[in-house]
Structures are given as C-alpha cells and as structure tokens.
Amino acid sequence: MAHAAPASRRPRLPRGESRASGFRDTSAHLMARWAPPVAAGLVYGYWAAANRRSGGPITGWNVLFGFVTAVVFVALYAAVRALAPRLKREPRALLWFAFTGVAFGFLYNQSGHTVLRTVAMALAVAAFVGLALFYWYYTHEDAEGHRIG
C-alpha cells in the first residue's frame, strides 16, 4: 500500500533564493561584522590615551582624545577591510603596510619619542607586516586573486 510523503511545513521560496540568504543579513551578523573593528578601536583609543598621559591622571580631555582616536581608527580600519578584498595581492599588502605603519607610528609618537625615531619604528613594523602579508597572499592566491586549493 502506498503512503503519501509528509509535506514540508516551511513555505516554498521563490526561485533562485535560499534560506541562508535571509539569515546573513540579520542583526547578529551585522554585530559580528562590526565587533572586531569596534573592539580594536576601543583598545587602540585607550592605548593612545594612556601613552599620551604618560602615567599621569586621567582627565576629561584625555578621555575625549581616546574616544576620538577610537572613532577614527574604527573608520579607517573598516575602510581598509572593505577595500582590501577588491585589490590584487600587491596593492592589498601595500594597503595593510600603510595602515599598520600609520597606526603604529601614531601610537609610538604619543609616547613622546622624536619624529625620526617614530618614522623609523613605524617603517620597521609596517615592513614586517607588509612583507608577511605579501608572502601570505602570494602563496595562497593565484595572479588573479583567486584562492588556491
């Protein structure tokens, strides 16, 4: 004797749509996308404010400086994260090189070091990061930017 197959209780979706497509745009995913830049920005802003006050008392201007620094860092970090995947491997590594150099140089300068020493240290750190990322992209992507394997 033949039996009818149980019917699905979920409504059918229009052709070409999947159930996962609506799930990607939820607020949980939006929060997960913005949580790392915001957390990094808060840490960066606190670090810059702490470097600037050199162990002295926390003032209102120091707190304001930390928050403004955090907002600028989050904006730049989000812009770099949005732009980097669209670039080929060489410009992408160069973009992260520049962002890392500027970010580290600003933090280092807040400690009261000379400009020459700040530039030298920022270039050293940025060169290490840029070369490491270029090596990573070169070994994990083809010339068109597609991931290998």
What phi-psi label fits residue 55: left (phi over 0), alpha (psi between -120 and 50 degrees) or beta? Answer: left
What pLDDT was estimated at residue 3? Answer: 73
* Tens digits of residue pLDDT in 5-16: 666 666 666 665
Beta bridge partners of 141: 147
Place of tokens 């490491």: 132
- Residue 70's contacts (CB-CB under 8 Å, 6 or more residues apart) are 41, 42, 44, 45, 46
Structure confidence at residue 145 (pLDDT): 65
The low-confidence residues of the chain, meaning pLDDT below 70, are 1, 4-25, 143-146, 149
147, with CB counted inside 10 A (0-12, 13-18, 19+), is exposed
Looking at residue 56, its pLDDT comes to 85
pLDDT of residue 32: 81
Give pLDDT, residue 141: 72
* Predicted pLDDT at 147: 73
Question: Do 137 and 93 touch, CB atoms closer than 8 A?
Answer: yes
pLDDT of residue 9: 67
Given CA atoms 123, 126, 130, 132 in this order, what sign does their dihedral have? positive
Which pLDDT score is estimated for 139? 86
The total of other beta-carbon atoms located within 10 Å of residue 130's CB is 21
Asked whether the beta carbons of 51 and 110 are under 8 A apart, the reply is: yes
- CB distance 46 to 71 below 8 Å: no
Q: CB count, 10 Å around CB of 44?
A: 20
Q: What is the pLDDT of residue 66?
A: 94
**DSSP type of residue 85:** G
Token pair belonging to 3? 């039996």
